[in-house]
Amino acid sequence: MLWKLLMRSQPCRLCSFRKRLSAPKYRPFLAFFTCTTDSQSKKENKKTVEKLFKLSVDIRKIRRLKGWVLLEDETYVEEIANILQQLGASETAVASILERCPEAIICSPTAVNTQRELWQLVCKNEEKLVKLIEQFPESFFTVKDQENRKLNIQFFQELGLKNVVISRFLTTASNIFHNPIEKNKQMIKILQESYLNLGGSEANMKVWLLKLLSQNPFILLNSSAAIKETLEFFQKQGFTNFEILQLLSKLKGFLFQLCPRSIQNSMSFSKNAFKCTDHDLKQLVLKCPALLYYSVPVLEERIQGLLKEGISIAQIRETPMVLELTPQIVQYRIRKLNSLGYGIKDGHLANINGTKKEFEANFGKIQAKKGRPLFNPVAPLNVEE
């Protein structure tokens, strides 16, 4: 949930073709090969459309989403399709890939072949590679910085990251491969030094670093100045090195991506809302790091939502992790528990806390307990005759 909230990676695009033209209005037969722009009418590349049609590609979908691709004079429909088919992609898969990422047909076949070789460095199984391309076609057909990408892949392998993790980086965190190799190496060194300065042991450093990177590769997009500023901020707030390291691990490195000013605002709001001392606030933060990364409006909305359900500030303070849930989720869970006669106002908030899976498991236990008979109806009764 934290990953989705804080790091919504921006999808990569072919930088040379970012501008989208407006979707054409067409009639099935009269204007099958034309596209209208705001300033002029330009004919679509008839050969491109015909080749895509032969591959069972939905031309209308391309026109609607990225019609400008069909206006390009030079395209490589057959060549790109052949590369995908050589990897084992079915006709349906090829059509789906080209519909979702029409920019693929303006990529140089040489560059795409190089990209295939790069991805095969971490995904040698062609069947799995095709599935990755189907899921993330735009990442695969972003064919810039290939030499730099290769150096970064090799560097991550040398660090000890597994190929399956690097594959995930290529598809969902491709921005880190645009970093110069020197920048990524510098960030790794800074993270290692920070870990040791915070009291981490040399023996555990590699395990800690690999886990941190696998959970949050976007940490490499930070600057050394941002990391230094964040560490100094928490030290000024009275957190010990051990506590900062604890927060860093709990937040999976997102700690360095938070602005000290917004953190300060959130902490000040929490202190006033819970009417606690600096020491108590620090303990709340260590127990629930959400108090750091949620903005004041979000925290206020969630606290008010809990109060409207009859939950007290004291209960929230006892189980602050409940603030990680949206008001809608809280309402749903309370209603479910109420249906069993469980009064959340007088009970512990732990029963509505946790992931969906954890809540359902707890709910099942409460439900089973409520439905359990007071005695075993099939057990023999010891009665004197």
Phi-psi region of 300 (alpha: psi -120 to 50; beta: other; left: phi over 0): alpha
Q: What is the pLDDT of residue 264?
A: 93
- Residue 328 included in any domain: yes
User: By the 8 A CB rule, do 187 and 220 touch?
Assistant: yes
Domain of 115, in residue numbers? 44-142
244 is a domain residue: no
Q: For residue 380, what pLDDT is reported?
A: 52
- Residues near 165 by beta carbon (within 8 Å), at least 6 away in sequence: 213, 214
What pLDDT digit, counting tens, does each position of 230-269 carry?
Answer: 999 999 999 999 999 999 888 887 888 888 999 999 999 9
Instruction: Give this prediction's pTM.
Output: 0.75
> What pLDDT is attached to residue 113?
96
- The closest of 199, 212, 294 to 250, measured between CA atoms, is 212
Q: How far apart are CA 293 and CA 351, in angstroms?
A: 24
d(CA 78, CA 57): 12
Contact 195, 206 (CB under 8 A): no
* Tokens 């707890």 found at: 362
pLDDT at 367: 83
Inside any domain, residue 262? yes
Report the domain count for the chain.
Answer: 2
Q: What pLDDT, on the 0 to 100 scale, is given for residue 376? A: 52
Residues of the chain falling short of pLDDT 70: 1-41, 346-347, 371-385
Specify the pLDDT at position 353. 85
CATH of the domain at 300: 1.25.70.10
In a domain, 251, yes or no: no
Distance CA 20, CA 41 (A): 15
